[in-house]
Amino acid sequence: MEGMVSEITPMCICGGCGRAIEKKFVFCPWCGQSKLAKNSSVSEEERMEQIFNRLEEMQINNRFERLEKMENQLDQLEKELDALVLCSEMHK
């Protein structure tokens, strides 16, 4: 049982990109934001608003990327279906 207990890594949220990072990091491995360079003129509420806005923007971009991928897949399926219909008509 002793070997099965794993240590929990302390985490925090990056003020730059909003991703979860280990507290021991000085810089975010995702966006490079320094945890030490805190802007005292920006309130905690404004920082959270900025983070949520970035996350919302990332979600929107992700949706558009997924929609574009699905459109491409649909176009490919339509081409394959057209080829099958043409082949079927030729064999009648």
Segments making up each domain of the chain, as ranges: 10-34+43-90
Q: Report, as an integer, the average pLDDT of 36-45.
A: 65
Measure the CA–CA gap between 70 and 27, rounded to whole angstroms: 36
* pLDDT of 30 strictly over 70: yes
Residue 4 pLDDT exceeds 60: no
Q: What is the pLDDT of residue 38?
A: 57
Percent of the chain with pLDDT over 70: 86
Name the residue with higher pLDDT: 87 or 37: 87
* pLDDT band at residue 85 using 50, 70 and 90 as cut-offs: very high
CB 12 within 8 A of CB 21: yes
